A and B are shown apart, each in its own frame.
Chain A
Amino acid sequence: MSNVKKFMYINNKAPYGTIYAWESLEVVLIGAAFDQDVSLMFTGDGVYQLMKGQDTKEVGIKNFSPTYAALGDYDINKIYVEKESLDARGLTVDDLMHLVWEDEDEDWAEKDSIKVVTSAELAEILDQQDVVLSF
């Protein structure tokens, strides 16, 4: 058996109202050091985690949204967002942060990390995982 497993992080909760979004991002960052095949999926209110323009100054808690932009540097570039969840919230991909990664095999060409997929496509992706972490 190969020692590289497919890890999927399910992000199904909105940020700030509860700590789950931030603490699960901390796991993703630590997990990146283990050289596993990592994907993230954002469904339900989880899509709100990726909204542009988050500003927590007046609330006084940490704004962790800039951290998502660093994921590309950790070779985490499979970020799946469920189309139906965006639709249900009146959002499009343009409302989300622009997350990119640099493809070493194509002379460091900058590519989009976020892939908007349908439920049916995401179901197939989820079915292929070895380890599913939910927070």
Chain B
Amino acid sequence: MSILHTVNKSPLDRTTLKSCLNLAVKGASVLLIEDGVYGAVSGAESTQMVQDAMGDVAVYVLGPDLKARGVDESRLIDGVKVVDYDGFVDLTTDNDTVSAWV
């Protein structure tokens, strides 16, 4: 089994990213969408938590939501992969289950 988690809240506002990372098994994927994309940036309070998790889970971020918010890809944590909506769909089919942290 493999699982895709989606997170749509800024980690500086809400704790859903933290909850999600606590409950993501090794090999899981995490996709940051909507306000969740702020969790992908480096140099923030949340960065260390995300970097620590990246040893076990793959972190993706939805590019259109980054662009909408004026967050340049150069600000992203190394290793975070940017996907578009097609990539979002592929992540849901590549994994067996989708769990939304709303």
- The answer to whether any beta carbons of A and B sit under 8 Å apart in the complex is yes
Asked if B89 is at the interface of the complex by the 8 Å CB criterion, the answer is no
Interface residues of B (CB under 8 A from A): 1-3, 15-16, 19, 22-25, 28, 96-102
| Chain B residue at minimal CB-CB distance from A20 | B102
Q: Given A123, A131, A134, A135, which contacts B23 in the complex, CB threshold below 8 Å?
A: A123
How many residues on the A side are at the interface (Cβ–Cβ under 8 A)?
21
A33–B99 alpha-carbon span in the complex (Å): 23
Query: Given A122-B23, A123-B24, A127-B25, is A10 in contact with B97 using a C-beta cutoff of 8 Å?
Result: no
In terms of DSSP, what is the predominant structure of the interface of chain A? mixed
A124–B22 alpha-carbon span in the complex (Å): 11
Which chain A positions have C-beta within 8 A of B96?
130
B-contact 0/1 string along A97-135, CB 8 Å cutoff? 000000000000000000000010011101111111011
A8–B101 alpha-carbon span in the complex (Å): 13
Asked if A37 is at the interface of the complex by the 8 Å CB criterion, the answer is no
Contact check, A129 vs B97: say whether CB atoms are below 8 A apart: yes
Contact check, A10 vs B22: say whether CB atoms are below 8 A apart: no
Which chain A positions have C-beta within 8 A of B100?
10, 132, 134
